[in-house]
Amino acid sequence: MKYCIKCGAQLPATAEFCPACGTKQPAVSAPAQPAPTVTPAQAAPAQAQPQPSAAVTTPPLTAQGNAGAQAGTAQPAGDIRAAMARAAAAKAKPGDPEWVPYNQYPEHGLINGWRVAFVDLVQPNQCIGRANYWYAYIYAFVLVAICEFGGPIALAIGNLVSISLDWRRLNDIMPNSTLAWCIIIVDIFLTFTSLLNPFIIFGDVAISLFIGLSKTNWQTTGERPVSPAA
């Protein structure tokens, strides 16, 4: 058996393409043939030539103990959920060996982004992972842009969606609730004063970038539900 070089799926040894992601797999060289038995009488005085070693295919590194590999390599959804469970049990913070990013929906996509943005809108105690946050933010941004043509009330509704996303993202990154409150108060002020002065929106965008690019801190007390495997 061998493993896909892109998604880590287990493949037959002769597979040329991964059935999960379609990636072409490198050819595996044939194992080295054992050298024939040579008796002392048949041994030649010339030095024996080394035999080429067979290529060794190792499975991809798991998320536990190697957060860098987890961040750069696609892992099966089941492995991601198990790694998040280990990180939660260890209360890992960025830089710890057990650390992995939290995401309620490990299978990222626009459908799950819709759920984060609107279905979970009134869940202030929940956390939002970084990847889920950015997918949901696409909906919030489009909604705000559309609501600009619907008057101040419609725009305020769109801004409330954006504030909800920022608040739930802070639950994932800020162990200090006082600092989180300060950030969200400034975020609310900038969001609604931008209705009067469009240039203030740049300050609001800067806060969203800070919140969206920060890493999960498993020491926070926010709720972290994980969706069942699809």
**Cα separation of 227 and 111, whole Å?**
13
DSSP code of residue 79: H
Q: With contact defined as beta carbons under 8 Å apart, do 3 and 59 qualify?
A: yes
Total length of the chain: 230
Q: State pTM to two decimals.
A: 0.59
Please give the Cα distance from 229 to 196 (Å, whole number): 45
CA distances from 78 to 21, 135, 180, 215 (A): 16, 21, 32, 21
What's the pLDDT score for residue 31? Answer: 53
Which tokens hold the place of 154?
A: 């419609």
Calculate the CA 225 to chain-centre distance: 15
Task: Give the pLDDT confidence score for residue 151 in this predicted structure.
Answer: 63
Largest CA distance in the chain: 99
What residue spans define the domains of the chain? 1-27+62-100, 107-230
Q: What is the DSSP string of 1-45?
A: -EE-TTT--EE-TT-SB-TTT-PBPPPPPPPPPPPPP--TTT--S
Please provide residue 62's backbone torsions phi and psi, each rounded to the nearest 5 degrees: -85, 170
For 25, the token pair is 């797999």
Residue pLDDT tens, the chain, 230 long = 677 777 777 778 777 777 777 777 787 665 556 666 656 555 444 454 555 554 444 344 343 334 443 444 555 656 888 999 999 999 998 999 999 999 988 877 777 777 787 778 788 888 989 988 888 887 767 766 666 666 666 666 777 878 888 888 999 998 878 888 888 888 878 777 766 776 777 877 888 889 889 999 999 988 998 887 65
